[in-house]
Amino acid sequence: MRARTPDREGVVQRDGVRVAFEVFGHGEPALLLIPASPITHARSWKGIVPSLARRFTVITTDGRGTGRSDRPHTSECYAPAEVTADLLAVLDAAGVDLAFLVAHCHAVPWALCLAADHPERVAGLLAIDPAVAVAPPHPHTLEPDRRWADAVDAPSGWAMRNRHFWRQDGGYREWIEFFFGQQLPEPHSTKQYEDTVGWALDTDAEAMIAEREGRAAPAGSEAEALCRRVRCPVRVLHGSDDRCQPVARGRRLAELTGGDLVVLEGAGHLPHGRDPVKVTRLITGFVDRITGAPMYTTTWTRGPCRPRRALFLSSPIGLGHARRDVAVAKELKRLRPELEIDWLAQHPVTTVLEAEGERIHPASQWLASESAHVASEAAGHDLHCFQALRRMDEILVANFMVFQEVVEEGRYDLVIGDEAWDVDYYWHENPELKRGQNVWLTDFVGYLPMPDGGEREAFLTTDYNAEMIEHIDRYPWIRDRAIFVGQDHDIVPDTFGGSLPAIRDWTTRHFSYSGYITGFTPPEPDEVAPLRSELGYRDDELVCVVAVGGSGVGQALIDKVAAAYPLAKKAVPELRMIVVTGPRIDPAAFPQRAGLELRGYVHRLYQHLCVCDLAIVQGGLTTTMELTAAKRPFLYFPLGHHFEQNFHVRHRLDRYGAGHCMDYATTDPDLIAAHITELAGKPVSYRDVETDGAARAAQLIAELI
């Protein structure tokens, strides 16, 4: 799912060639983002568009030759005059008189032409890794470029940049895979690599050849003259390890235009993809410098006069963490009564927070929905959560930028992130942005590959684990405290992959253990009957609660269990089944069945789980552990390809001797009915779940303030 969808889409058509554009936001001034098409297109800006669009009007185009634009195959169609005319037409169509241009690589000469020839339309130019021939190219590109039109036999490396090779079967793809491998020298860039290769394959070799031969970018003195004609402010960003364009070109461009140069040390050719936070801030800073940063009426509170405040981020995927985070917050307020806690949170967590009277920061409204993304990634009873997390990259960066603005106001002593992946990742990637003490909570450590993902998935999970380990190793001061919600034995016996350490050993070295946090105390045996009666359940009925957690994933399981209901009811006449669809699935979406009760969001669902005679749930940790703590029999169905539910949660439940793990794919309604008949109301013997987890976690946090 995209972090932000356009407010307006359109197409301009010139001489029969259609060029697509999108407009995001309504603020001033306007920014026109120009990709180096057709090798890439508008989606290459995905890491920076959502946060820029909160302040500015952002216009993206695909550029002729790719994306949703036409793909002419004649080189004349790619002359600079054509491309710049497209861009002017896009500005006209978007109703924008004056814009800042942000251009990448060989889009920079187009932007320079626009700025020089139409100064009344261009407020400033930000050039990223400019392909402007005002300094020599990389030596490794000289020979391939000289032999571009020659029939080269079985080329490799840069020599694959060759017209004949691209026309060979698979040649263009091979070139693209090599090229983007070169452009992302930063370790752990697998997602950016997959993205850029994918966008490059959105066009075809003929369009690429036509563009390359029609490009006619100025060189030497002609290029210098073009730069000198630019009158608007210029900023150049250039990666020190850019293998496409040498830094000398960026430096010379800045000199010739009187602009400033920001060298991104250690960065390659795609900093807007690999370092989106820094690039966004450099763009914003540039625009602010020229237009004047808004100076709002505001309050600054003297340091000594500030109340102690914490910002709590609760992982918004489902409801898993909301209950425990509220419990930790309440314990923390008991230990530090003066502490004020704000929540940066999104639906469905806000449902719980509002019901508990917690204070939600108004910036929460700007967060892109992680739950909706996860729901969009699920199919039936299957959710590849590792890949879903990878594909959530643009949502994470968009939400991080919201978070960073909130903490930069400087009001928070403490940030508590319960699996706030965005904060943890981007503060390690941009350590200078850290504000306040930082607490990291999680209930699992380590990405694990699903067996059918093969070597590729094992490579990817290892790479992600390695990046996390390197983050902690390099910047141990980013996490002031890391808390594992559980005990050491809850951690899987696996390693992080490859030659990386064992997960449990490493976690013990870097985390404190709080024990499990249920967020409530299960009822004593003599409290069960009154609670049952309070919730409307009779003693002479067997109550089966079916719950699918708080995310939008669960329809498939509900359908299957609902089909089992008539069979089970026949065998167990005293059965009463209550299906809780949760806050993100509409109960009305299911067909009515006689006797079957459907409910949406149920506040304090754990109370129902605590007194039920049987529960049927997914493999999420929170719900299964609630049932474990309350010692209720339950069936759980881990989502397919969900490594956390299949490995981490299952390992923990096995340790507690809790629940019956079921395989969704091979389970039919008859089998579910048989299990209901066998297990409902039967006693269980699980290991006790600790009840002081929230207090222990709160104590670990309180020590920091």
- What residues line the site for other proteins (CB under 8 A)? 289-293, 295-302, 304-305
DSSP-derived secondary structure for 179-215: HHHHH--SSS-HHHHHHHHHHHTTS-HHHHHHHHHH-
Amino acid at 377: E
Determine whether 182 is exposed, middle or buried from the number of CB atoms within 10 Å of its CB (0-12, 13-18, 19+): middle
Smallest separation, CB 286 to other proteins (Å)? 12
Specify the residue, 285 or 595, whose C-beta has the smaller distance to other proteins: 285
Cβ contact 514:700 at 8 Å: yes
Smallest separation, CB 287 to other proteins (Å)? 11
Smallest separation, CB 278 to other proteins (Å)? 20
Peptide bond into 348 cis (omega under 30): yes
Specify the residue, 39 or 282, whose C-beta has the smaller distance to other proteins: 282
Specify the residue, 411 or 660, whose C-beta has the smaller distance to other proteins: 411
Smallest separation, CB 416 to other proteins (Å)? 25
Specify the residue, 216 or 293, whose C-beta has the smaller distance to other proteins: 293
Q: Which residues pair with 14 in a beta bridge?
A: 17
Smallest separation, CB 292 to other proteins (Å)? 4
Specify the residue, 293 or 571, whose C-beta has the smaller distance to other proteins: 293
Smallest separation, CB 403 to other proteins (Å)? 22
Specify the residue, 299 or 365, whose C-beta has the smaller distance to other proteins: 299
Q: Which residues pair with 20 in a beta bridge?
A: 11
Smallest separation, CB 576 to other proteins (Å)? 57
Specify the residue, 286 or 444, whose C-beta has the smaller distance to other proteins: 286
Specify the residue, 180 or 286, whose C-beta has the smaller distance to other proteins: 286
Specify the residue, 116 or 287, whose C-beta has the smaller distance to other proteins: 287
Cβ contact 323:349 at 8 Å: no
Burial 100-125 (b: 16+ CB within 10 A, else e): bbbbbbbbbbbbbbbbbeeeebbbbb
Q: Is the dihedral of CA 453, 455, 461, 463 positive or negative?
A: negative
Smallest separation, CB 358 to other proteins (Å)? 24
Q: Which residues pair with 263 in a beta bridge?
A: 238
Smallest separation, CB 296 to other proteins (Å)? 7
Provide the CB-side half-sphere exposure for 468 (13 A, CA). Answer: 22
**Phi first, then psi: what are they for 17, rounded to 5°?**
-100, 125
* Distance (Å, whole) CA 212 – CA 117: 23
| Distance set, CA 461 to CA 381, 446, 539 (Å) | 22, 8, 49
Specify the residue, 266 or 307, whose C-beta has the smaller distance to other proteins: 307
Specify the residue, 13 or 301, whose C-beta has the smaller distance to other proteins: 301
Specify the residue, 296 or 477, whose C-beta has the smaller distance to other proteins: 296
* Distance (Å, whole) CA 353 – CA 339: 17
Question: Rounded to a whole number, what is the distance in angstroms from the first to the last CA of the chain?
Answer: 38
Other CB atoms within 10 A of residue 231 CB: 12
* Distance (Å, whole) CA 1 – CA 53: 17
Smallest separation, CB 28 to other proteins (Å)? 14
Smallest separation, CB 300 to other proteins (Å)? 6
Kindly report the CA angle at 411 between 410 and 416, in degrees rounded to 5?
100
Kindly report the CA angle at 49 between 45 and 50, in degrees rounded to 5?
140
Smallest separation, CB 284 to other proteins (Å)? 14
Residue pointed to by tokens 């003297």: 302
Provide the CB-side half-sphere exposure for 173 (13 A, CA). Answer: 6
Other CB atoms within 10 A of residue 92 CB: 12
* Distance (Å, whole) CA 355 – CA 348: 11
**Phi first, then psi: what are they for 669, rounded to 5°?**
-55, -35
Provide the CB-side half-sphere exposure for 229 (13 A, CA). Answer: 16
Smallest separation, CB 408 to other proteins (Å)? 13
Residue 169: in which H helix or E strand, if any? none
Specify the residue, 149 or 293, whose C-beta has the smaller distance to other proteins: 293
Sheet holding 340-344, edge to edge: 359-360, 340-344, 309-314, 414-418, 437-442, 481-484, 512-513
Specify the residue, 308 or 474, whose C-beta has the smaller distance to other proteins: 308
Specify the residue, 151 or 305, whose C-beta has the smaller distance to other proteins: 305
Specify the residue, 290 or 528, whose C-beta has the smaller distance to other proteins: 290
* Distance (Å, whole) CA 269 – CA 271: 6
Smallest separation, CB 530 to other proteins (Å)? 50
Q: Hey, what are 702's tokens? A: 């309180």
Smallest separation, CB 458 to other proteins (Å)? 49
Smallest separation, CB 299 to other proteins (Å)? 4
| Distance set, CA 294 to CA 196, 287, 288, 336, 657 (Å) | 35, 11, 8, 37, 59
Specify the residue, 302 or 509, whose C-beta has the smaller distance to other proteins: 302
Q: Are strands 8-14 and 17-24 parallel, antiparallel or unpaired?
A: antiparallel
DSSP-derived secondary structure for 29-75: SEEEEE--TTTS-GGGGTTTHHHHHHHSEEEEE--TTSTTS----SG
